[in-house]
């Protein structure tokens, strides 16, 4: 059981979940735009779960640098960059080994940012869902568009296809694949195609790789499986992959997750998947997920599942109860045992300083 937070959040882990975190020396971060919270989950010195939360309005997409020194997070109208203020190997007086501080906020306006990742230069690339495109930061404008699907006829603020997910090529760290809910070129047209209208598209060629999906999210490419695009077929509850090197590029189901799935990260040959329980949201209703849950005798849950990529078994999990009912993104922080971060609701950020050494830069 996790230490309590101020919002009555309760995390209950499977019996070996904390051992798995310790074995892989990893901690997790996840966002919920429903509650406007960013959570960090690690281990206390006694081996119990450690949780830390901060408030950010409509926080969604997450990404982390390979050394886990830098975090990026999308929010309602800003893209935030967090830096670890601790020196190498340092810990806070309370025993946290990362202390993330928001240092840069890019004001984008409310453009419905979803997934975000870092390119080879360390610059964020993100899904601008309102404009049906991929974009990056601009020093002078809200954002810089860099790609849109061939069927989108104009770059206008109309969420037509609900382009939500982005996968980077691990070899080049450039945009490789995107997911969208439908191939629609009319405003809000994606809502009419939530079941079976979803597709996976290759950014480099503009080719549709796989179609017939139901509200796909979170495409990712694992370096150990270069020919596969892993993704969450959220409208059905299944986690799986598309084999881009096969003549049959249909979605291969690997594991069923009892919830609306969004957020996917890898830890070795494990997938860390976010599940949402909220059924009162009309976007989640009337999908094959409902029938699949009933057939399996399950109820939708808010949770994080750890799935073995080789066997498809859910080996570990964390149930999330209380104020949080929906998750959007999940990120793994490699080499981090117990992370902490600052937000804007307390005066602590006013007194948190880190000076760059004279002569640097």
Mean pLDDT of 9-30: 96
pLDDT score for 351? 87
- CB burial of residue 357 (10 Å; 0-12, 13-18, 19+): exposed
15: helix, coil or strand? coil
CA distances 275 to 85, 233, 306, Å, are 31, 12, 11
Q: Model confidence at 4, in pLDDT bands (50, 70, 90)? A: very low
Contact yes or no for 123/79 (Cβ under 8 A): no
Q: Model confidence at 72, in pLDDT bands (50, 70, 90)? A: very high
Q: Model confidence at 69, in pLDDT bands (50, 70, 90)? A: very high
Q: Would the pLDDT of 121 be above 90?
A: yes
Q: Model confidence at 3, in pLDDT bands (50, 70, 90)? A: very low
Predicted TM-score (pTM) of the model is 0.94
Q: Would the pLDDT of 20 be above 80?
A: yes
Q: Which two tokens stand for residue 179?
A: 């997911």
pLDDT (tens digit, 9 = 90+) per residue, 239-279? 999 999 998 999 999 999 999 999 999 999 999 999 999 66
Residue written as tokens 């950010």?
Answer: 56
pLDDT score for 174? 97
Number of H helices, E strands in the chain: 2, 26
Rounded-to-integer distance, Cα 125 and Cα 109, Å = 16
Question: In this structure, what DSSP letter does residue 306 have?
Answer: E
Q: Would the pLDDT of 343 be above 70?
A: yes
Mean pLDDT of 289-318: 97
47: helix, coil or strand? coil
Q: Which domains does the chain have, with CATH numbers?
A: 10-343 (2.120.10.30)
**Residue with more model confidence, 349 or 192:** 192
pLDDT (tens digit, 9 = 90+) per residue, 25-61? 999 999 999 899 999 999 999 999 999 999 999 999 9
């Amino acid at each position: 059981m996790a230490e309590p937070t101020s919002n009555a959040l309760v995390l209950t882990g499977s019996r070996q979940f904390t051992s798995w975190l310790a074995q892989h020396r990893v901690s997790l971060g996840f966002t919920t735009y429903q509650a406007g919270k960013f959570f960090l989950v690690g281990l206390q010195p006694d081996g119990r779960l450690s949780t830390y939360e901060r408030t950010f309005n409509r926080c969604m997409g997450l990404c982390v640098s390979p050394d886990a020194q830098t975090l990026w997070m999308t929010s309602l109208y800003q893209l935030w960059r967090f830096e670890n203020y601790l020196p190498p190997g340092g810990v806070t007086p309370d025993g946290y080994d990362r202390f993330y501080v928001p240092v840069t906020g890019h004001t984008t306006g409310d453009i419905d940012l979803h997934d975000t990742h870092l390119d080879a230069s360390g610059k964020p690339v993100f899904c601008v869902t309102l404009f049906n495109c991929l974009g990056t930061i601009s020093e002078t404008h809200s954002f810089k568009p860099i790609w849109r699907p061939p069927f989108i006829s104009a770059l206008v603020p109309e969420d037509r296809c609900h382009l939500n997910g982005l996968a980077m090529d691990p070899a080049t760290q450039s945009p490789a694949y995107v997911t969208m809910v439908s191939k629609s070129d009319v405003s809000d047209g994606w809502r009419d195609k939530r079941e079976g209208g979803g597709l996976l598209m290759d950014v480099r060629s503009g080719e549709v790789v796989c179609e017939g999906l139901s509200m796909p999210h979170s495409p990712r490419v694992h370096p150990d499986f270069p020919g596969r695009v892993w993704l969450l077929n959220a409208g059905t509850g299944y986690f799986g992959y598309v084999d881009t090197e096969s003549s049959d590029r249909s979605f291969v189901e690997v594991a069923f997750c009892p919830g609306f799935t969004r957020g996917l990260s890898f830890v070795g040959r494990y997938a860390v998947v976010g599940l949402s329980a909220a059924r009162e949201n009309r976007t989640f209703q009337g999908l094959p997920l409902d029938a699949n849950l009933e057939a399996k005798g399950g109820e939708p849950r808010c949770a994080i599942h750890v799935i073995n990529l080789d066997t498809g078994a859910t080996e570990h999990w964390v149930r999330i109860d209380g104020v949080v009912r929906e998750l959007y993104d999940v990120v793994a922080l490699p080499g981090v045992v117990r992370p902490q971060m600052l937000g804007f609701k307390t005066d602590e950020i006013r007194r948190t300083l880190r000076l760059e050494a004279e002569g640097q830069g």
